[in-house]
Structure formats: C-alpha cells, structure tokens
Amino acid sequence: MPIPYGRQSLDDRDVQAVVDTLRGDWLTQGPAVAEFEQAFAVACDVPYAVAFSSGTAGLHAAAFAAGAGPGDELLTSALTFAASANCGAYLGAKPTFADIERDTWNVSGRTVAAALTERTRVVVPVHFAGLPAPVAEIRAAVGPDVAIVEDAAHAAGAWTPDGPVGACRHAEMAVFSFHPVKPITTAEGGMVTTRDATLRDRLAAFRSHGLSPTAELEDEPWLRRQHVLGFNYRLTDVQSALGRSQLRRLDAFVERRNAIARRYREALADVDALELAPAAPHGSRHGYHLFVVRHREGAPARRRLYDRLRERGILCQVHYVPVYRHPWYAETFGYEPGLCPEAERYYEGCLSLPCFPTLTDDDQETVIEAVRDLV
C-alpha cells in the first residue's frame, strides 16, 4: 500500500454518528449543526462558531463579513493554498501578498507591514502547516481599522499562550477547514469563529442566501427576508454529526501528529541537506497538519527526492507554489515571479512528508529510512 502524505482518521464512532443521523429526521439544517458549532466554539474558547460547506466558503463569508469589496485589497501570505486569496477576488477586492519569514515560514508583523497599503481592508494570516502565526504582532502592525481573518485551515487544535487558535483574541474571525487531510474532517466542511455577534449574524446570513434567520413581519410570519446577496454554503446535519464525533478526538489527533513530528526531528536531525519544519515556540502547540522538509540544494534535488520516494510508494506532496505565480493571478493582476523572495526560496525545496494520526510507526520508519537513504 502506498503511504500518502495525509489522510483522514475515521473509526466506528464516526460511522455510527453518521448512520444515526441518516436514520433521524434531519439531513440538513437540523440540530446537529448547532451542536457541532457549540462544541467547536467551546474547543476554541470563543463565543460563536458558524459552520460552512467548506473552508473556502467560510473564507468567502468572512471576507464578506469584514466588508471587503471593489477598490479594497485583501492581504494574505504568499505561501498558502489559493483559497486564502481567492476569497478577496470573489468580492471584487484585489488579493495582495506578504512574504514569509525564513525561520517560521509564516507571515509576521514585519512582512505584513511591508505589503500593507491604504487600500488594505482585510489581512488573512495563515497558520501554515499548523504553526500559529503571530497574530498579536500583526494586529500591532496593521492597527485597529484593518480586519484580521485568520486562515486556520491547518491549525485546529493548535494553541499559543493567548489560547487556542480560533479564540480570536487579536482577530475578527478565524476560518477552519474539514477537508479529509485536515486535523478533523466532515468530508467537505468549514467553520468560522468570532467574538462579535454582528459578524456572526452576517456570516449566518451569507451562508443561507442572505436571508434573515427568523421572520421579521408580524403580518407575514412565514417570511424570512433577504437583506444581502448570499449563497447556499450550508453544512449538512450528516456532516455535522461526523464533525462532532471527530472533534472529541481532536486533541488526541494533534498529540499523535506532534509525536510523529518529534520522531522525524530525531531521525533526520543529522541529514544536513534537509532543513526541518520550524518547531512551535515554548508555550505554543503546533498542529502539524503538514511536516515539511526543505531540500537545501533546491529544485532539482527536491524533484529527484520526490520521484524516488514515489517509486518506493511514499507519496509526498509540495505545499505550496506562491499563490501569485498561478497563471490566473499573473494574467488578472500582472503579478510576476520575484514578488516574495522567501516564499519562492522555500518553494524551490519544500516537500511534505507523511504525517497523519493513523500513520503507523512502521510506515514512518519506512519513510525515514527512504529519506536517509536517498538524500
């Protein structure tokens, strides 16, 4: 069996939760959604959580709720999945990019400040690979008038001395993804957390066509009125039941990912050609959605390693090409290579090794031996 870089970890409890929901009265918009939202909010130590049909839908809604629109810029990390930037473009705002720091692979107050302009309306720091980005420092750099939406797609279960990622101590909102390779899964799904009841209401309306949550006119008690243009971005009850069940094991999943990362560190510490993923600082917990190594010899050596590992059934991946280098970004906004040199240097050498809770010790040893042998 090939060893993937990531995969879901499901057990009989998850299957039972889904089956019970299928046998119940609600397939969608029933009680399971609210239960999952409440449990997720508790896990993040935050008052409100709003479930979405994907992390991408959550980012779209969060950028909308933050007020991004034509003439604005939405500033995110160059090193991320395109969805972190696309959410601005959906609303007519221009996605712009901050470079990463060489030692954390995350944006910082310094790199965000360097890319900030008068038009920046929303900043989307990404907790890349599950390592919390310095949101307090970014808040200090952007001031109180720019909204911060954390892209926490990789970071459910990670924390900092300020609390869990998603607590929104320094940000307006945080967005999570429940795609199968993510810390917990609902197949497709996402969640947005916030401390602000007005933002919660805007998120909920955007998720469901822009409709008010309840009837507003006494004469027409059946009528939920549309006040903004929304979408159908709802998470189903079936998915929410799966998410609620998975959430019970989030802590164990993240612990296991940390144990896998520790083993990689011990076993690859003396491989000089590889730079290993930055660790979390004291008092923080890394989510290790990914365990990335960077080949110091650059693109050709990384390509050889990628190919040879695949020949041995080890399916590593590359996360990510700097977003502005996608053809659509170059064609639409005129971005050229060289915009964010650290993200490009990183991209030349990066490779994500298998890291997921059900990776067996034996399979991890197979990966370690292969990497040591090939590098």
What is the footprint of ligand PLP within residues 147-186 (CB under 6 A)? Answer: 151, 153-154, 177, 179
From 8, 9, 76, 80, residue interacting with ligand PLP (rule: CB under 6 A): 80
Q: Which of 127, 182, 295, 325 is catalytic?
A: 182
Q: Does 132 bind ligand PLP (CB under 6 A)?
A: no
Cα–Cα distance measured from residue 357 to residue 203, given in angstroms and rounded to the nearest whole number: 32
Least distance between ligand PLP and beta carbon 215 (Å): 32
Q: Are 254 and 287 a contacting pair, CB within 8 Å?
A: yes
DSSP designation for 215: -
Q: Which residues contact 289 (CB under 8 A, 6 or more apart)?
A: 6, 129, 130, 153, 154, 155, 181, 182, 183, 257, 355
Q: Does 76 bind ligand PLP (CB under 6 A)?
A: no
CA-based end-to-end distance of the chain: 23
From 95, 109, 190, 230, residue interacting with ligand PLP (rule: CB under 6 A): 190
From 44, 68, 79, 83, residue interacting with ligand PLP (rule: CB under 6 A): 83
Q: Does 292 bind ligand PLP (CB under 6 A)?
A: no
Phi, psi of 317, deg, nearest 5:
-135, 170
Q: Are 52 and 65 a contacting pair, CB within 8 Å?
A: no
**Binding residues with ligand PLP: total (CB under 6 A):** 14
Q: Is the dihedral of CA 332, 335, 340, 345 positive or negative?
A: positive
Pick between residue 181 and residue 261 the one whose CB is nearest to ligand PLP: 181
> Is the bond leading into 335 cis (omega within 30 degrees of zero)?
no
Cα–Cα distance measured from residue 81 to residue 318, given in angstroms and rounded to the nearest whole number: 11
Pick between residue 268 and residue 353 the one whose CB is nearest to ligand PLP: 353
Q: Does 62 bind ligand PLP (CB under 6 A)?
A: no
Q: Are 306 and 316 a contacting pair, CB within 8 Å?
A: yes
Question: Of the ranges 29-37, 49-57, 60-68, 136-144, which one interacts with ligand PLP (CB under 6 A)?
Answer: 49-57
Helix (H) / strand (E) element for 353: namely strand 350-353
From 8, 9, 21, 56, residue interacting with ligand PLP (rule: CB under 6 A): 56
Q: Nearest to residue 154, comparing CAs of 138, 169, 170, 175? A: 175
From 8, 9, 21, 84, residue interacting with ligand PLP (rule: CB under 6 A): 84
Query: Is 94 known to be catalytic?
Result: no
Least distance between ligand PLP and beta carbon 321 (Å): 13
CA–centroid distance for 200 within its chain: 19
Q: Does 236 bind ligand PLP (CB under 6 A)?
A: no
From 54, 111, 245, 246, residue interacting with ligand PLP (rule: CB under 6 A): 54
Q: Does 55 bind ligand PLP (CB under 6 A)?
A: yes
Pick between residue 160 and residue 352 the one whose CB is nearest to ligand PLP: 352
Q: Are 61 and 149 a contacting pair, CB within 8 Å?
A: no
Pick between residue 125 and residue 357 the one whose CB is nearest to ligand PLP: 125
Cα–Cα distance measured from residue 368 to residue 135, given in angstroms and rounded to the nearest whole number: 34
Catalytic residues: 182
| Residues binding ligand PLP (CB under 6 A) | 54-56, 80-81, 83-84, 126, 151, 153-154, 177, 179, 190
